[in-house]
């Protein structure tokens, strides 16, 4: 997950007094200052310009005649003399080359951001593919002692349990599960509440099909086969190895081979 932290910067460019202007609050003359600002969005460096703003304030009583944060559609509550000074400072202020460029610098930075994001995506995809291949190898060639963090739905509710492979006979695997289940979770801390020492597992064994004997759509699932009244086998779904295809970035292992 990517997090972008940005700031909206209001940077003063030039300040000048408005001659002969009287403050409407304190009545002092020649105490009104006009400041021209440049506003832009920055993430370490300026990225996107938001235009130039002006602010007018009395230096004697701090009364704000015009705020640089006010909307351009806000009603003008200042004199024609202030309006003319604002127009003059906008037209006469000479911007540096950098001030001319950085309102549009996002277009210079964007290709690099795209390359960085593309590179991160490729790295994550490669890492996920490698993890998926590793898990496939473990599931297709199971060994006694393997432990799986798995969903368990024997009771009809999806819970979490540790499942341990005890032994293999042909296409049949014999597994046991922990005595304790947890509510279904993608949190490593919740899974750590389940112990993996021998005393934590039930004595009851389940006979399930080997993963390699199942169809592709049941990859990583635990299927037990029972016989109906006619002696025909039918599958019973017990659960599935959590994140067996690495389709989620859980940040913790779900298959252990000790």
The string of pLDDT tens digits covering residues 200-221 is 899 999 999 888 887 777 888 8
One domain for residues 96 and 147: no
What proportion of the chain, given as a percentage, has pLDDT over 70?
Answer: 89
**Listed range (11-15, 185-189, 195-199, 220-224) with the worst mean pLDDT:** 195-199
Residue that terminates a domain, selected from 104, 123, 145 = 104
Residues 6+ apart with CB under 8 A from 95: 13
204 in any annotated domain = yes
Going through the chain in order, the beta strands assigned E by DSSP cover: 7-17, 32-43, 45-58, 64-66, 147-152, 159-169, 172-177, 182-183, 206-209, 221-227, 233-241, 255-256
Mean pLDDT of all residues belonging to the chain: 85
Residue 20 has pLDDT above 50, yes or no: yes
Residue that terminates a domain, selected from 83, 104, 125 = 104
One domain for residues 19 and 74: yes
- Whether residue 140 contacts residue 232, with contact meaning beta carbons closer than 8 Å, is answered with no
One domain for residues 73 and 140: no
One domain for residues 252 and 207: yes
One domain for residues 89 and 13: yes
One domain for residues 49 and 98: yes
3-state secondary structure of 163: strand
Residue 60 domain boundaries: 7-104
- The pLDDT of residue 1 is 46
How many domains would you assign to the chain? 2
120 in any annotated domain = no
- The pLDDT of residue 82 is 92
One domain for residues 69 and 139: no
């Amino acid at each position: 997950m990517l997090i972008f932290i940005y700031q909206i910067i209001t940077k003063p460019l030039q300040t000048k007094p408005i001659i002969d202007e009287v403050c409407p609050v304190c009545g002092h003359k020649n105490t009104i200052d006009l400041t021209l600002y440049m506003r832009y969005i920055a993430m370490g460096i300026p990225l996107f310009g938001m235009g130039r703003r002006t602010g007018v304030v009395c230096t004697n009583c701090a009364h704000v005649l015009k705020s640089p944060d006010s909307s351009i559609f806000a009603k003008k509550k200042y004199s024609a003399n202030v309006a003319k000074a604002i127009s003059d400072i906008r037209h006469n202020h000479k911007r540096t080359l950098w001030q001319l460029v950085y309102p549009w610098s996002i277009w210079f930075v964007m290709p690099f951001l795209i390359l960085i994001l593309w590179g991160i995506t490729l790295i994550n995809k490669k890492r996920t593919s490698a993890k998926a291949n590793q898990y496939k190898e473990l599931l297709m060639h199971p060994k006694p002692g393997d432990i799986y963090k798995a969903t368990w739905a024997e009771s009809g509710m999806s819970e979490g349990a540790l499942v341990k492979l005890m032994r293999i006979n042909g296409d049949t695997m014999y597994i046991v599960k922990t005595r304790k289940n947890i509510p279904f979770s993608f949190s490593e801390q919740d899974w750590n509440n389940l112990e993996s020492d021998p005393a934590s597992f039930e004595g009851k064994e389940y006979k399930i099909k080997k993963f390699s004997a199942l169809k592709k759509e049941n990859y990583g699932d635990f299927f037990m086969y029972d016989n109906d009244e006619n002696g025909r086998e039918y599958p019973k779904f017990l659960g599935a190895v959590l994140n067996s295809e690495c389709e989620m970035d859980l940040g913790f292992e779900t298959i252990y081979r000790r």
